């Protein structure tokens, strides 16, 4: 990645579906947060390098993470998807915002919803609950080095992108390549959509009748057919 470029800058104009498809095309793992992790406010977008924090019942882990953070990062909070407590609220959001971070992604619940709306920091979580933590566990030894989000473990070696479709993670050292492939996918899909809007059906663009004949004759798969058409059509 160019030292003068940030992950957020490289991902401008791209959606999580574009990036997820690019990861798949490049043979990289497609790591998404659980579908229950949603933006607090529809239309919210967040992008940046992961700043992980594993919550154990106390806000100090977030403050410590912020001591190590850089502007533009995204605080990714691992609360194990707990449904019985909120782990972040307005004070954490204000501190994150004041440190110059781009937002928060929480595998768990938030509270102080009205205040969070007023603060305006991009927040993604699994929902709201009035009560804060009712426990205090020992801090995980990797509490500031990695965070779990659903089935995946992420670290500062990852970048997070979030929008109305959810959250996707990608490796920092491949972000330029992923972004380039995602832009190709976006531009191809836009061309396809414009043609459909002008009256050229997707079936016509994809030579679908030819595919059905080839499948019947030789077992050609749809993906093989698309690749035979070249890069002007998106798989």
The reported pLDDT for the residue numbered 3 is 39
Sequence-distant (6+) residues with CB within 8 A of 205 are: 192, 195, 196, 233
* CA angle 114–162–21, rounded 5-degree value: 155
The reported pLDDT for the residue numbered 235 is 56
Segment 210-222 mean pLDDT: 93
Helix or strand holding residue 192 (H, E): helix 175-197
Asked if residues 197 and 29 have their Cβ atoms less than 8 Å apart, the reply is: no
The reported pLDDT for the residue numbered 233 is 52
pLDDT level of residue 226 (50, 70, 90 thresholds): confident
Predicted TM-score of the model (pTM): 0.92
Asked if residues 158 and 79 have their Cβ atoms less than 8 Å apart, the reply is: no
pLDDT at 234 over 80: no
pLDDT level of residue 163 (50, 70, 90 thresholds): very high
Sequence-distant (6+) residues with CB within 8 A of 81 are: 34, 36, 107, 108, 126, 150
Rounded Cα–Cα distance for residues 129 and 87 (Å): 9
The reported pLDDT for the residue numbered 29 is 98
Q: How far is CA 165 from CA 32, 124, 201, in A?
A: 10, 11, 26
* DSSP per-residue letters across 47-63: EEEEEEEE-SS-THHHH
pLDDT at 21 over 60: yes
pLDDT level of residue 229 (50, 70, 90 thresholds): confident
pLDDT at 5 over 70: no
Asked if residues 86 and 130 have their Cβ atoms less than 8 Å apart, the reply is: yes
Q: Per-residue pLDDT tens for 134-144?
A: 899 999 999 99
pLDDT at 232 over 80: no
> Could you tell me the fold of the domain covering 7-172?
Glucose Oxidase; domain 1 (3.50.30)
Q: Per-residue pLDDT tens for 106-132?
A: 999 999 999 999 999 999 999 999 999
Helix or strand holding residue 118 (H, E): helix 113-119
Q: Per-residue pLDDT tens for 186-206?
A: 999 999 999 999 999 999 989
More confident residue, 151 or 5: 151
Q: How far is CA 146 from CA 31, 98, 157, 184, in A?
A: 15, 22, 9, 31
* DSSP per-residue letters across 195-231: HHHTT--HHHHTTHHHHHHHHHHH---HHHHHHHT-T
Q: Per-residue pLDDT tens for 30-79?
A: 999 999 999 999 999 999 999 999 999 999 999 999 999 999 999 999 99
Instruction: With CA atoms as reference, report the closest residue to 108 among 75, 83, 137.
Output: 83
The reported pLDDT for the residue numbered 228 is 85
Percent residues over pLDDT 70 in the chain: 95
Asked if residues 117 and 40 have their Cβ atoms less than 8 Å apart, the reply is: yes
Residues of the chain with CATH 3.50.30.40: 7-172
How many beta carbons lie within 10 A of that of residue 98, not counting itself? 10
pLDDT at 84 over 60: yes
pLDDT at 6 over 90: no
Sequence-distant (6+) residues with CB within 8 A of 29 are: 23
Asked if residues 137 and 154 have their Cβ atoms less than 8 Å apart, the reply is: no
SS3 20: helix
The reported pLDDT for the residue numbered 154 is 98
């Amino acid at each position: 990645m160019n030292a003068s470029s940030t992950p957020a800058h490289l991902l401008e104009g791209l959606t999580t579906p574009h990036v997820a498809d690019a990861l798949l095309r490049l043979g990289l793992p497609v790591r998404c947060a659980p579908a229950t992790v949603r933006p607090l406010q529809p239309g919210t977008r967040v992008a940046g390098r992961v700043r992980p924090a594993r919550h154990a019942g106390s806000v100090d882990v977030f403050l410590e993470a912020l001591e190590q953070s850089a502007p533009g990062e995204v605080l990714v909070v691992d609360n194990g998807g707990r449904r019985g407590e909120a782990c972040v609220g307005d004070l954490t959001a204000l501190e994150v915002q004041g440190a110059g971070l781009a937002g928060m992604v929480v595998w768990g619940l938030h509270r102080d919803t009205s205040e969070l709306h007023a603060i305006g920091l991009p927040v993604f979580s699994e929902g709201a609950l009035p009560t804060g933590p009712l426990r205090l566990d020992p801090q995980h030894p990797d509490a500031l080095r990695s965070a779990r989000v659903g089935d995946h473990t992420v670290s500062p070696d990852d970048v997070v992108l979030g929008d109305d479709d959810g959250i996707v993670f990608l490796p920092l050292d491949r972000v330029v390549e992923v972004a380039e492939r995602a832009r190709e996918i976006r531009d191809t899909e836009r061309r396809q959509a414009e043609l459909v809007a002008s009256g050229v059906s997707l079936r016509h663009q994809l030579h679908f009748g030819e595919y059905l004949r080839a499948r019947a004759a030789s077992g050609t798969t749809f993906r093989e057919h698309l690749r035979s058409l070249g890069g002007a059509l998106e798989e």
